[in-house]
Amino acid sequence: MSVTPSRRLSWHRLSLPLRIGLIFAALGMTLAIVGIVRGTVPLNPVSIFLALAISGGSWGVVSWAVATAGSARFARLHLRYGRSHLSRA
């Protein structure tokens, strides 16, 4: 009887735009925590949750969208001109 290994979600299995989005979402949430500590957010749970969700969500979604557009553009350039054109930076 063979046992299949569990398919864990590995960081390296995620696409590059998704990894970039998650990194920037964490950065946005960190900045929200700094704002909470400095006293710019009322200290009730709903306000803290909203500050974390809005800052992490907006930073994550925007950076994911930019990274996705950039990687799609890079792929189109690679298909059109080939590898030699892209290495002449």
| pLDDT digits 0-9 by tens, 36-61 | 999 988 999 999 999 999 999 999 99
Does 44 map to a domain? yes
Q: Say how many domains are in the chain.
A: 1
Does 6 map to a domain? no
Q: Residue 70: give the domain boundaries.
A: 16-86
pLDDT of residue 69: 93
Tell me, yes or no, if the pTM score tops 0.85: no
Does 73 map to a domain? yes
Does 59 map to a domain? yes
Q: Which residue has the higher pLDDT, 88 or 7?
A: 7
Does 4 map to a domain? no
Does 5 map to a domain? no
Does 20 map to a domain? yes
pLDDT of residue 64: 95
Does 7 map to a domain? no
pLDDT over threshold 60, residue 86 = no
CB 68 within 8 A of CB 17: yes
Nearest residue to 34 via CA among 56, 58, 8, 12? 56
Helix and strand element counts for the chain (H, E): 3, 0
